[in-house]
Structure 1
């Protein structure tokens, strides 16, 4: 995961049943935070910003990643669209321009 940025574009991992997708997303972040090599950043956009609210157990793992030095960002446009700014429990609000800068410097892995 070293020198990578993870882009999360959904509040579920994969297509299919919502409950299963939420569980798989949480499992991904549980395993990710246990790795020796962590990503540079995780950027949440579209419905992915819900992963940073108390509606999602993933927010706890995102917070732990932050504590380990991983930058965690929420797309400002998406946060505004869904009206969740006051519900974010992890991450900081950032711009699409910042994501483009990250993508120019690091390999992007997309989770959708």
Structure 2
């Protein structure tokens, strides 16, 4: 995962059962945070911004990644669209221009 940016475009991983998808996403980040090589950043967009709120157990894993030095970012437009500005418990609000800058420097792994 070193030198990668994770683009988190959903609050679940894969299509199908929502509870299963949320659980699989939490497992992904639980395992990821235990690795030595961590991504440079996680950029959350669209419904991925919900993973930064209390309603998602993934937020706990993302906070742990943040504590280990990974930039955890939320798309400003998406946060405003879903009206979750005051609900974020992990990450910080950022813009698409910042994501484009990251994408020009690092490989992007998209989770949706």
Scaled by the length of structure 2, what TM-score is found? 0.99
* Large movers: runs of 4+ above 2 Å: none
Cα drift, residue 83 of structure 1: 0.1
Partner of 2:73, secondary structure, is: strand
Q: What is the 5 A alignment of 1:76-91?
A: 76-91=76-91
1:7 aligns with 2:34: no
The equivalent residue for 2:95 is 95
User: Partners of 1:103 and 1:61 in 2: how far apart?
Assistant: 23
CA-based RMSD of the aligned residues comes to: 0.3
User: What is the CA-CA distance between 1:23 and the residue it aligns to?
Assistant: 0.2
Unaligned runs of 5+ in 2: none
Q: Which residue of 1 aligns with 2:43?
A: 43
Q: CA deviation at 1:87?
A: 0.3
- Counterpart secondary structure, 2:101: helix
CA apart distance, 1:86: 0.3
Q: Deviations over 1:45-96 (max 9, x none)?
A: 0000000000000000000000000000000000000000100000000000
Q: Look up the match of 1:110.
A: 110
Aligned residue-pair number:
112
Number of the residue aligned with 2:20: 20
